[in-house]
Amino acid sequence: MKFGTKAIHAGVEPDPSTGAIMTPVYQTSTYVQASPGDHKGYEYSRTHNPTRTALQNSLAALENGAYGLCFASGMAAIDTILKLLKPGDEVISTNDLYGGTYRIFTKVFAHYGIKFHFIPMDNAKEVEKYINSNTKLIWMETPTNPLLNIIDIKAIANLGKKHTVITVVDNTFATPYLQLPLDLGVDIVMHSVTKYLSGHSDVVMGAIILNDKEVAARLAFLQNACGAVPGPQDCFLVLRGIKTLHLRMERHCDNAAKIAQFLSEHPKVDKVYYPGLSTHPNHAIAQAQMKAFGGMLSFTLKGDKIEDAKRFLERVELFSLAESLGGVESLCGHPATMTHASIPKEEREKAGLKDSLVRLSVGVEDVEDLIEDLRSAIG
């Protein structure tokens, strides 16, 4: 099946008892057994739930993976992946990444004896210099959050295979509609399902998709043992959201490309971060591994004053100032004080994240209205 067909049909079947075309919300905590151990595949909803099973199968199909696991949040998914490690292990991570990821790396797992290296990943040969016998995992975001850097997924995945290191891609910004990291050789794909997969700003959820049966079993054990699982109602909402993922992403991408072009030509805008622009340093890699360039972009205003950025954020009307991204409505944010505030200022600046940077999650509204809103707010 092609992607649009998979988005609507993969992993889901009409309910066998009623013929309902939509997967029912199995709002139950437990399941009746005929005798001890004799059941219909379900015992307790922390371990398995039919609505969650349908969503996990759907996500696995979209990413061309064999196994899908859903969690109560994207952070719970990250937490579960890191529990594959042990004290003394080392992780190589991109230096431009979501603040919550940086926080759990440095403020939680670093206290359990895991060492993290935050480095640029635009050159695989430079990344290889950090690999040693203790390196067990390489963590990528691509496009990165919030500077929209692009990492050559295949090159880093090949490094992982060469050195027997697990490679992970946070595919939240791109979604499986735009890029398929497992097809490029990555071991694990992670999502904040909260964002584009759900797409309607009404769910908090995370997911992991992979092909390795043994690692999937370990992650499924952790999913059950630690218990950070989503409820069936949220799973139902994401299943509904996925059915329009391909349609939404096309509009997100189209709108963002036009807005990036508008901003790049505006006399008061200094720098625009968007992989779809030919001036982007990783534009060629983005073209090679992505179907389109996504709905996220960031920019700075000339003069690089945080006061100007704040004034802009206070003046927008259609772009709502809020945490998160990936919904049908357009959002704007100030990473330095919002999504990335947990990263120390010196580390942010080392990665190129200035205090004046504004991040846009471009929605699916009429782009002419969005451009007019930006024009008015910039002044």
**Catalytically annotated residues:** 46, 98, 170, 195
What is the rounded distance in angstroms from the CA atom of residue 210 to the CA atom of residue 74?
A: 16
Kindly give the pairing relationship between strand 188-192 and strand 166-170.
parallel
How is 65-124 classified by DSSP, letter by letter?
-SEEEEESSHHHHHHHHHTT--TT-EEEEESS--HHHHHHHHHTGGGGT-EEEEE--S-H
What is the rounded distance in angstroms from the CA atom of residue 301 to the CA atom of residue 295?
A: 20
| Cross-strand pairs, 298 | 273, 359
Q: What is the layout of strands, in order, in the sheet containing 90-94?
A: 67-71, 206-210, 188-192, 166-170, 135-141, 90-94, 115-119
What is the rounded distance in angstroms from the CA atom of residue 7 to the CA atom of residue 199?
A: 13
What is the rounded distance in angstroms from the CA atom of residue 273 to the CA atom of residue 362?
A: 13
Is there a contact between 378 and 268 (Cβ–Cβ < 8 Å)? yes
Q: Which residue has the tokens 């649009």?
A: 4
Packing angle, helices 232-242 and 50-62, rounded to 10: 30
- Asked, as a colleague might, if the bond just before 230 is cis with ω within 30 of 0, I would say no
